A and B are shown apart, each in its own frame.
Chain A
Amino acid sequence: MRAHRTTTVPGWLVVPAAVGATFVLLPLVAMVARVDWGQFGALVTSPSARDALWLSLRTSTASTLICILLGVPMATVLARSRFRGQAVLRSLVLLPLVIPPVVSGIALLYTFGRRGVLGSRLDALGIDVAFTTTAVVMAQAFVALPFLVISLEGALRTAGQRYEVVAATLGAPPTMVFRRITLPLVLPGLVSGAVLAFARSLGEFGATITFAGSLQGTTTTLPIQIYLERVTDPQAAVALSLVLVVVAVVVIAPMSRRTIRVGVEPS
């Protein structure tokens, strides 16, 4: 641990901060208190639970990779170039952050669904995404992409272009500058963006249920399984919720030390 320069925090901020922390943590504690530890092992290792967890991990990983493949170029273009309508484009690209996931699901359905804008053409080619694991990954990537873009774009802006300019004047072509200077410089921002995208994918529910449906082992992710179990077996739902929280904590924990950066980079 490095020693940080700390400024004094105004004392009156402490109380609302404590209230805020309690507000976030208390529900989690209340949930853990409800776990039936005697049955816990059996509940979380049932075939449907294992299928759901495994599917969630696989699809979230796939969606994070897609987010990196598409999000890195998007963030770079947004941060490093100027064109008309850039501000509007940025707001639109970040839209999945603020619209309800169900709305995202409906939008995806009308695009890639059987009768959708693209879906009807894909259908003619014999490609059918509805009700497949691909649809789950698409729903997750759709809602998670803005997290990566906003995080990386912020890192790119804070890093500035000094080194890039120097490299370019020394004769490095744009691709070399991007690979050797830009990417290494913003790697922490990229990693935290990817972690956020993974976490968002893991928790995805609304868009998935609307766009992909629910079938054990194919489209029933962990959040959907929890939602379903809650009806018949609240104990199983609580146990699986705890598993999801633990997975999320494991993913987020290494980042908390570095500070998860959404746009702003601490110096």
Chain B
Amino acid sequence: MNLTSMSALVAATGLALGLTAGCGADDSSGSKASSQTLTVFAAASLTKAFTEIGRDFEADHDGVRVRFSFGGSSDLVAQIQSGAPADVFASADTKNMDRLGSAATGAEDFASNTLEIAVPPHNPAGITSFQDLARPGVKLVICAVEVPCGAATHAVAEAAAVTLHPVSREQSVTDVLGKVTTGEADAGVVYVTDVKAAGDQVEGVPFPESSGVVNTYPISVLDGSNHGRLAAQFVAFVRGRTGQEVLAGAGFAKP
């Protein structure tokens, strides 16, 4: 009995290790230079555009696989600083790229994004301007000032001399969008690209004050990359014609 349970424990441990071992193994088997995996860390707002660019890049480069890790720029920076195996980093703002310091020296801008108001279909609260957001009774949701979209919203409100009284300050732009698509909020301040990506789940209300705060997206090959040349090719691809076409389709503007 003792022996049986012991072997069961050993078997369970072995199984657990076996199940997790697969995750760590990546491109080490790629003996030839023609079979490589490029790891790209990119801001969450780039999810749709970069997934498409990645497919185009793979089609252009035989034996190359591009895998992505999408997340909040500051989270990704923290992961890269802790040694995450990334070859390329695309940030939603220059501030986070700068935090990498010498780990990302060749940063180049590749896109820009501005804010837009998102409202549920049929615009129940009748929002037509940035000033409308401050109207009493309007349930407004914005990003917390700690995250890039919140900092941008704060800057716009300040420039427009409007005091906002949001019912919630969310951790990310996706959380803001979620509150609008479910109809919980009357309006949310998000990026132009988010409104576009949400399709007919939300309506966009552009406002002229948004042009005062433009978010620039930089991209860089990372110092620790084992695929320096391929990574540089990917950066060039994003900044090239195909990449820019895809980004424009997603609503991004030129940097």
Contacts and interface: CB of A to CB of B under 8 A. Distances in A.
Interface of A: 10, 12, 16, 109-110, 113-115, 130-131, 209-210, 212-216, 219-220, 224, 227-229, 231-232, 234
A68 B51 CA distance: 48
Given A109-B184, A209-B175, 18 more contacts: A16-B9, A109-B182, A110-B182, A113-B183, A114-B182, A115-B182, A130-B167, A130-B184, A131-B167, A131-B168, A213-B141, A214-B144, A214-B169, A214-B170, A215-B166, A215-B168, A216-B169, A220-B169
Contacts of A209: 170-171, 175
Given A16-B9, A228-B146, A231-B147, A214 B168 contact: yes
B179 A213 contact: yes
A227 to B, nearest CB: 6
A64 to B, nearest CB: 25
Contacts of A115: 182-184
B146 A232 contact: yes
B171 A113 contact: no
Interface residues on B, range: 20 to 34
Interface of B: 2, 6, 9, 13, 72, 74-75, 78, 139, 141, 144, 146-147, 166-171, 175, 178-179, 182-184
17 contacts: A10-B2, A12-B6, A16-B13, A109-B182, A109-B184, A113-B183, A114-B183, A115-B182, A130-B184, A209-B175, A213-B170, A213-B179, A214-B169, A214-B171, A215-B166, A231-B72, A231-B147
A12 B3 CA distance: 10
A219 B175 CA distance: 15
Nearest to B73: A231
Nearest to B183: A115
Contacts, number: 61
B167 A231 contact: no
Given A10-B2, A214-B168, A131 B184 contact: yes
Contacts of B74: 231-232
A227 B166 contact: no
Among A10, A110, A209, chain B packs the most CB atoms within 10 A around the CB of A209
Contacts of B182: 109-110, 113-115
A25 B231 CA distance: 40
Nearest to A213: B168
Contact of B167 (A10, A215, A224): A215
A231 B146 contact: yes
A192 to B, nearest CB: 29
A215 B144 CA distance: 9
Contact of A131 (B9, B75, B139, B183): B139
A52 to B, nearest CB: 13
A12 B8 CA distance: 13
Among A209, A213, A214, A228, chain B packs the most CB atoms within 10 A around the CB of A213
Nearest to A16: B9
